Amino acid sequence: MKITNPRLQSALKSLALFGLAIFLYTRIVNGSLLFYINERFAWFTLAAAIGLALVAVSYQPAWRRVAHRDDAHEHADHEHAEYDHAGHEHAGHDHGLSWRGLFIVMLPVMLGILIPPRPLGVSALATREVSVGAVAGMPAAIRAATAKTDAEKNILDWAYEFQSADLKQVVGREADVIGFVYKDEQFGDSAFSVARYVVSCCVADAAYAGLLVQWPAIATLENDQWVQVRGHFELLDKDGQTVPILIANSVENTPQPNQPYLYP
């Protein structure tokens, strides 16, 4: 169903664009935008929010011009309607705003308000490859050498080192990492994976990165629970493959980080 009132059309277009701009801006301010995209692309979203706001403001003068034209030509418009203008339809009538179109434009905003933003968790692993003690599907990026100490390294740093160095070199080294708990039968009865997602562009390309952890009290842990794990590495023969395993000295509950993803 078309919205035939020009003033109402302009007002609704302006409000819809403002709504989208405010929605994007709030996602930037509260940090939930980073649940969806890599932080280095956040400025694109800010630019989009500013652009939408500027376009919305531009509808205000147009709204006033429409109102003035309607008042000035009200009598002429009534006479114009009495005649048949089959070959002279106004082009603007073919591109008018419809309630359906407005609904489609505002649907992302409504869904964003109704569905609380949350980062990827264990449930998303059902569609991703998971390999014990490795980074499955990690983006093929060449990571520059870092000067991080072992205590400063995160899950991705360790996973990268496992792929680029002799595994014997990690035996006995201590780690202190934060991630969410992922329990699976492939890990055995006394082990779990402390995991994070690696995001190159957006969550669509998110890859699993996890460290195998040996912890006897695994029954006290729940999937998606955020923990801080401290311990040292040993090597484990698993299904004919040698993988590092973190022998945990402690596994403690910890709040979810403001930025739950890691970046290559």
61 and 139 in a common domain:
no
Chain-centroid distance, C-alpha 143: 22
Q: Give yes or no for a contact between 234 and 190, defined as CB atoms under 8 angstroms apart.
A: no
Please check whether residues 139 and 172 belong to one and the same domain: yes
- For residues 110 and 127, state if they share a domain: no
pLDDT at 5: 67
Quick one: 109 and 174 in the same domain? no
Q: Tens of pLDDT along the chain (264 residues)?
A: 676 666 777 778 888 888 888 888 988 888 888 888 888 888 888 898 899 889 888 876 554 554 555 554 444 444 444 444 444 444 444 456 677 777 787 887 788 778 777 788 888 777 666 665 555 444 444 444 356 889 899 999 998 888 877 888 899 999 999 999 999 988 888 999 999 999 888 888 888 999 999 999 999 999 999 999 999 999 998 877 889 999 999 999 999 998 899 988
pLDDT of amino acid 163: 81
Q: What is the DSSP letter of 235?
A: E
119 CB burial (10 A radius; 0-12, 13-18, 19+): buried
User: Are 72 and 132 members of one domain?
Assistant: no
- C-alpha span between 95 and 2 (Å, rounded): 9
Give the model's pLDDT for residue 60. Answer: 64
pLDDT the model gives residue 137: 47
- Contact residues for 172 (Cβ-Cβ < 8 A; gap 6+): 232, 233, 234
CB 187 within 8 A of CB 243: no
Q: Is residue 10 part of a domain?
A: yes
Domain limits for position 89: 6-114
Residue 79 in any domain: the answer is yes
With respect to residue 166, please indicate whether it lies within any of the assigned structural domains.
yes
Among residues 199, 187, 198, 250, the alpha carbon closest in space to that of 223 is found at 187
> Are 54 and 168 in a shared domain?
no
- 28, 145: one domain: no
Domain limit, last residue, from 54, 83, 114: 114
Domain assignment present for residue 240? The answer is: yes
Among 92, 114, 136, identify where a domain stops.
114
86 burial (CB, 10 Å; 0-12 / 13-18 / 19+) is exposed
State the Cα–Cα distance between residues 261 and 32, nearest whole angstrom. Answer: 12
Q: Is residue 150 part of a domain?
A: yes
Q: Which of 80, 114, 148 is the last residue of a domain?
A: 114
Question: What separation in angstroms does the CA of 115 have from each of 100, 110, 160?
Answer: 22, 8, 35
Q: Say what the pLDDT of residue 55 is.
A: 87
Task: Check whether residue 190 and residue 95 sit in a common domain.
Answer: no
Q: What is the pTM of this model?
A: 0.69
Residues 212 and 168 both lie in one domain = yes
pLDDT of residue 87: 45
Which pLDDT score, from 0 to 100, does residue 190 have?
A: 92
Task: Let me know whether 22 and 130 are in one domain.
Answer: no
Residues 15 and 43 in one domain: yes
Do 66 and 135 fall within a single domain?
Answer: no
Q: Are strands 207-214 and 174-182 parallel, antiparallel or unpaired?
A: unpaired
User: Do the domain assignments include residue 1?
Assistant: no
Instruction: Look at residue 139 in the predicted model and tell me its pLDDT.
Output: 47
8 Å CB contact between 229 and 175: yes
Helix or strand or coil: residue 68? helix
CATH of the domain at 216: 2.40.50.140
Please answer whether residues 98 and 127 qualify as being in contact, where contact means their C-beta atoms are separated by less than 8 angstroms. no
Number of domains the chain contains: 2
Q: Give me the pLDDT at residue 69, please.
A: 53
